[in-house]
Amino acid sequence: MTTKKIGLPILGILVVIIASVYIYIVKHQPNDDDKAYHRTALCFVISKPELSKNPDDMYSNFKDIATNGIPDYAYYKPKIYEDYAHKLMNHYFSLSPDEQAKIKADPLLCTKVLSTE
């Protein structure tokens, strides 16, 4: 009888912990729309030589474009996911110089290539 009394609260606590971990993970992962917005903003930065000259400044330029690209009065402003943005940049820098040059010249190809990250 005492194991039922003890087991039920422990089960309830475990359910709450598991649900909390799931919600935390889901809230910290970009959805498909956010991923597309990140790719578009990064492709814009890549296509502008003055913004993508220095790899160290590329993230700060991306962040400026992504945060200021949506007007203040917009109902929904995408959240910037730093880890995902760095993942996209690492994917871009892992490409050969020829592929990087093609991507710089064609924004549609850029979004297509970055979507395969």
Given a contact cutoff of 8 angstroms between Cβ atoms, the answer to whether 55 and 93 are in contact is yes
Share of the chain above pLDDT 70, in %: 94
- Biggest CA pair distance of the chain: 73
- Over residues 41-56, mean pLDDT: 84
pLDDT band at 1 (very low <50, low <70, confident <90, very high): very low
Sorted by where each begins, the domain ranges of the chain are: 1-29, 32-114
Which long-range CB contacts under 8 A does 45-53 form with residues at least 24 apart? 46/92, 46/103, 46/104, 46/110, 47/104, 47/105, 47/107, 47/110, 49/104, 52/104
Task: Share the mean pLDDT of the chain.
Answer: 86
Output the pLDDT for position 117: 67
Q: How far apart are CA 45 and CA 85, in angstroms?
A: 12
Is residue 51 within 8 Å of 58, Cβ to Cβ? yes
pLDDT at residue number 4? 60
Question: CB 42: neighbour CB atoms within 10 A?
Answer: 26
* Across 67-90, average pLDDT: 88
- Nearest Cα neighbor of 89 from 66, 116, 114, 65 is 114
